[in-house]
Amino acid sequence: PGRALLRRELRLLESIFHRGHERFRIARACPDELGCEFLPGPAGGGPVRIHGNITEAYPAVPPIWSVESDDPNLAAVLERLADVKKGNTLVTPAAPEA
């Protein structure tokens, strides 16, 4: 059941933050990794790539986040993501059985 829930959550994220989204995109989503791109805007340079490694213990254990940047502000944001506790993750309701 954990992997099925994760796949639903990943599909939901991909539908919201699709490749055409102007600010934040899901570049890669699979059961063990989530790759995201933040697009800072015309004056902000290229995209900032953020990676989340998803363990088999998800959602009890939150993803392990990393960023391709030396910006200390981004490191602080990732520290906050690492502090996400069980119950604060995205949970989609189960589809009714047909």
Q: Chunked in runs of 10, what are the mean pLDDT values of the chain (98 residues)?
A: 84 93 92 91 81 87 84 81 60 47
The CATH number of domain 1-83, selected from 1.10.3470, 3.10.110, 3.30.70, 3.30.450: 3.10.110
Q: What is the pLDDT of residue 98?
A: 42
pLDDT of 79 reads 80
Rounded Cα distance between 67 and 49, Å, is 6
Close Cβ partners of 90 (under 8 Å, ≥ 6 residues apart): 9, 12, 13
At 73 the pLDDT is: 82
> Tell me, what's the pLDDT at 88?
56
> Helix, strand or coil for residue 10?
helix
Q: What are the structural domain ranges in the chain? A: 1-83
DSSP-derived 3-state class of residue 70: coil
Tokens 């934040």 belong to which residue?
Answer: 24
